[in-house]
Structure 1
Amino acid sequence: MIHFSATPGIEPGTINSVGDSSSSLSSFVPPVGSSNLLTSIAPPSALPSFINPPSTEATVNPVTTNTPTTTSQSFHPTTFSPVIPASKAVDSLSPTTPVPLDPATSSAGDASNAGGGLLGWMKGAVGTSGGLLSKVAERAKNSVDSMITTLDPQMREFLYSGGDVDIVVASDKEVKISPVREAFQAVFGKATVTGVAAQSISVATQPVGFESGINAAKERISSTRASGKLHKMQPILAVENFIVEVVEDKWYDTGVLLLHDPVRELSLHVFTQLTPVPASVVSVAQADTPDDYPLRSSGLSVTVGSLMGNNLQVHHAEWHQALTGVSRRDMVLLAAKSLAGMYKTSIANIL
């Protein structure tokens, strides 16, 4: 406990002067040597630290020196053989020197690139032969031609005539000329096909067998050239129908299309599809042919078409349609397309 003593002449709680106050304060100081509660408390101890101080010692890594060992044997260096030659590798890695551009050229190129969008598209559509406008015009032309030929089929001959292909058919019958013209115009785009009357003299009226049929077609071509109506180098095509016995008592009618081009020295031929013929009709034709017929070795004097027309009550040129549902014209047309394709391929190989 601390005991405070009152100073005589001074009332408690009153301070008269600075000196009196200092003297009065001195009375509160305890004498030296007296025990004090605050002084008896020991100073605080240092708090424990869990952080290790950084080491100040420098870490020195030992330097290992590899001393090459000498051997008595000689050293042979290996030869490096790269997959890419060194010259090519250097060329590919070496920087290329930029080509200086002409200011006029660069400005023109920039201008063309700037207008290469719509203007370039319009230029390509109008200028090139395969542009958009050319395709539209071609389709419009084809549509008009198709409409015209539908309304008037005879206009096909005038619309698609011309070009570099000129074929003469050794016959004046439309059943032979028309399909040949249509076939060649379909393959070549444009072709001129006309007909000239021709007959085979050394072959029977009704050829029998493949050999007789081909010989009759050749004779039609020869007689057409001998008429003097055509140029001697004119390509000529002949159509000749004949009958053939494939097996015993199994007879068929077929036709050969023979094309001869003396300029290109081409001789091509194809056959139409086989149409069955009753054996009884062939027997009648054989019976009606005289024994002294001079061309009996090549065929008969009576045609199968005339007999089939009488039996089917149709024209002799329409008996294929009446018997099978496929006309002779369609048969010739299909074979003529094959022949025209062969002719086009042969011309391309020669040129």
Structure 2
Amino acid sequence: MSIHERLDALSAAGVSVWLDDLSRERLRNGSLRELIAEWRVVGVTTNPTIFATALAGGEAYAGQIRELAARGAAVTDVVREITVADVQQACDLFRGTWEATDGTDGRVSLEVDPGLARDTEATVAEALELWKAVDRPNLLVKIPATEPGLPAITRALAEGVSVNVTLIFSVERYRAVMAAFLAGLEQAAANGHPLSQIASVASFFVSRVDTEIDKRLEAIGTEAALALRGRAGVANSRLAYAAYQEVFAGERWTALQAQGARVQRPLWASTGVKNPAYPDTLYVTELVVAGTVNTMPEHTLRAFAEHGQVHGDRVTGTADEARQVFAELERVGVDLPDVFAVLEHEGVQKFDASWDELATTVRRQLDAAR
């Protein structure tokens, strides 16, 4: 099977392949255009870590930073202008995909400042500002699924903003995200927004769950505990999909669908394998199911293209097996609520640190330009 055949098989199984990376260099050198044309990539996600790495890694931003330095722009304004400019270019590059898929794919995500993750009002305000600043119909504004983020998700959707809900780790929080989504669409309809023009995905993180739980299993150290390593991330995602099926078969969703609403698709995030002992395509192959998105780093995309396998739907009907994995985790002593609390806290903290790193890099480059 050729590289393209493997990716074609993944797409044919109903999985939308999105790239978890964006940079000015990638936009300029044709890399992203090639991934769209040849590697079946139909969307892009970004986060503060991606932008921090991109800005620190090359000269592609030097001209814009010199221009902004001459205008006396503040660091926060420069960060926003740089990220918005990259996302606008990516949105334009994906416009054909967006049109060809009737708005399902061709999406590009831009995250609100993670420092606002605990502030509902500030998150809503920035989500609306980003939506207006990018001014592209295929944008998704990323809002973290923290407790203060939930009402922000609802309010952004109610204003007609398309949203990528990020940093979801537990099925319990995912249910709250879906409830926030439904409430947002109900309010959007009441506000007169056409529901067919509002899109959303829910980004459920995978590999980080295994990383945290494996660490605890190794600390426990029993044979039963060690035998569970590498199983939690996929099991957690399969339970999330079962919750998705339940919610989007309900009357509340059916009423919104009759008004033209688009389903909030599950998006498997953090699908690059962190443990080299595991197959490098684990979180792609084992999470194949129609109507989902898998956003992956380029090395995972290329690994799947080279040797990945599609064994049909690996998710539907697996909830009982996944519950058994979780029961076994609890039996050996893994505190699952604490795992998810730690992952959310660390997730926000990591993105916040990357945002600070991005600001520091911009400040240094502004100073040099001046």
Query: Same fold by TM-score, threshold 0.5 exceeded?
Result: no
Q: Which has the larger radius of gyration?
A: 1
**Which has the larger helix fraction?**
2
